[in-house]
Structure 1
Amino acid sequence: MTTVPAADAHPAPPEYPERPGSAPAESLIPPWPGWTAPAALFAGFAATLLVGLIIAAVAAPFGASVTDPPPSVSVLSAIAQDACLIAAALLFARMVAPPRPAQFGICAAPLKRSVLYVVGGYLAFLVFSFLWLLVIGQSDVKDSIADKLGAKNGTVALIAVTFVVTVCAPLAEEFFFRGYFFGALRKNGFWFAALFTGLAFGIVHVFGSPIAFIVPLALLGTALCFIREKTGSLYPGIALHCINNSVAMCSSEHWSWQVPLVLVFAPAAIVVLIWLGLRLWPDAPMDARAPST
């Protein structure tokens, strides 16, 4: 005899919680083991070191110094680091199953909510950074990005550094940290994943930014996880990251008329690179290619 279920019986809970807006449920809690988050970070930087040594070895016969590399070597090394982080995320994700864009948050985002989070998050970051530097007595600390990459003088070198800082870094770091690292840890709880991701994000900048900036950057990394959680998409975080890096780059170089150019062309370049990446990604769904309203 067939048993008819009770009318008030509750269905089994879904495998993934409902996501905000139109983002797929898999965009927040992918099936990646938590241990792969730090493992992928280690692998990414190990690969970066190896590729950096290869670049230095190839450039050495042409007179490039290892201790004071020319802008071309520094820029190529920075691009290699970003590429290695993306490759590490994809490699460790593939160990479980062929990765899909939505698992990294490459999916539509609720537009109005995303704008509010980006604007609010950036303003909160600026206020906290100002107060933090004031409290620790480092309000006058300077950070010249172009100087660190050896591109202070030379238009072509400055353009290349600007591209790396405002386009490559936001794309690669968001894809790795908020796309993979946070996603792999998310099943252990939001705050654990967000705080651990923010801490890792701050620590990895210790060699490229003044030590006084590490705490604000760790907070930014945590806030970007919050935005990822609330929108179900990586796009708002990439936008905020791009804005922050663009403003920091323009400020460090004391630019004026260049500011609107950077703020227009950097996001445009990111959109193009994401579009190209999705074109090359096998079976990328259409919902990854445009934001929702």
Structure 2
Amino acid sequence: MRKDITIARVSWGVRDITRMILLTAIIPMGIFLLLVGLSHFGLLPSAVRDTIKHNDFVVNLGFSILVSVTEIALVFWLVRKYNLKLSDIGLQKFSIFKAVGYILAGLIIFMIFIAIVFAIVSVLVPAIDVNQAQDVGFEFGKKGVGFWFSFAATVILAPIVEEIYFRGLILPALSKRYGWLWGVLGSSAFFAVLHFQLNVIIYTFILGLILSFFFIRLKSIIPGIVLHMINNTFAFIVLAGLIK
């Protein structure tokens, strides 16, 4: 794998991304627990209390968006701290013709790898249900406002934020400190474990490897964002029950 990205320009380090990861976990959970506590003691409007208590869709979607907003805020913090340009975090020009080829090939290779790995896991670790539907924490609606909020959060917001966060910032920092192999493996592992469910962790780890490869070869995270959006679109269609 070529070292095409100049790591000398990576001014942030492992300490910075460690703080980012910890704060990404602490801030949303802290806000969520605060709201639950305020609701429990009747310190929030009744409409808000009823929503927290009875509307799992709004609560879980809101928490998902809160995590993304936290990630965005931390990205801006790091950008301002080191006066980074967009190109420093992978948002730069790329060959469209080359990227289309990578995306098409990436989709095919990804599907083949998933099929092979899941087949092996099914034999070696039958306790893991590789066909288990992903539990995203909220029900996708088939129409109305809920559908479009879910679509925006899953297909548009998540790929952009996650690619900047994991490939644009975490991958270069780990690679600068430990080398590209551990950078790719480490950033893909962080990306995967945040999805919690075992079969989804395996799936997203492999996806993370391919997205990291895209960044290294194409020197831009934008093609990876496109591939990530395509993947999430397929997932959304299945989870929303648009196809049986």
Q: TM-score, normalised by structure 1?
A: 0.69
Letter in 2 for 1:214: I
Match of 1:213 in 2: 200
2:25 to 28, 33, 45: 45
* Structure-2 change in CA distance of 1:113 and 1:55 (3 Å): farther
Flag as ranges the 4+ runs of structure 1 deviating above 6 A. none
Matched residue SS, 1:201: helix
* Cα displacement (A) at 1:169: 0.6
Match of 2:104 in 1: 119
CA distance in 1, matches of 2:159, 2:60: 18
CA distance in 2, matches of 1:76, 1:139: 28
Letter in 1 for 2:156: V
CA distance in 2, matches of 1:197, 1:18: 18
CA distance in 1, matches of 2:232, 2:116: 19
Match of 1:164 in 2: 153
1:84 to 70, 86, 103: 70
Match of 1:244 in 2: 231
Letter in 1 for 2:69: A
Post-superposition Cα deviations, 1:164-221, rounded to whole Å, max 9, x if no partner, equal 1001110111110011111222213211111100111111111xxx311212211211
Alignment of 1:1-293 (within 5 A): 29-53=9-33, 56=36, 57=38, 61-62=46-47, 63-66=50-53, 69-95=55-81, 97-137=82-122, 138-143=129-134, 145=136, 148-152=137-141, 155-188=144-177, 189-206=179-196, 210-255=197-242
| Structure 1: gaps (5+ residues) | 1-16, 20-24, 257-293
* Structure-2 change in CA distance of 1:216 and 1:60 (3 Å): farther
Q: TM-score, normalised by structure 2?
A: 0.82
Matched residue SS, 1:109: coil
CA distance in 2, matches of 1:31, 1:48: 27
CA distance in 1, matches of 2:52, 2:156: 27
**More moved, 130-139 vs 174-183:** 130-139
Over aligned residues, Cα RMSD in angstroms? 2.5
CA distance in 2, matches of 1:18, 1:64: 50
The sequence identity of aligned pairs, in percent, is: 19
Post-superposition Cα deviations, 1:21-72, rounded to whole Å, max 9, x if no partner, equal xxxx57x842112222222111122122133345555777321245x64323
8 Å CA contact retained: 2:13, 2:174: yes
* Cα displacement (A) at 1:74: 2.3
Matched residue SS, 1:185: helix
Letter in 1 for 2:133: K
Matched residue SS, 2:51: coil
Structure number with bigger Rg: 1
| Structure 2: gaps (5+ residues) | 123-128
* Cα displacement (A) at 1:244: 0.2
8 Å CA contact retained: 1:149, 1:161: no
* Structure-2 change in CA distance of 1:220 and 1:29 (3 Å): farther
8 Å CA contact retained: 2:114, 2:206: no
Post-superposition Cα deviations, 1:89-111, rounded to whole Å, max 9, x if no partner, equal 3323433x222111111111111
CA distance in 2, matches of 1:240, 1:254: 22
* Structure-2 change in CA distance of 1:160 and 1:31 (3 Å): same
CA distance in 1, matches of 2:162, 2:34: 23
* Cα displacement (A) at 1:248: 0.8
Matched residue SS, 2:132: coil
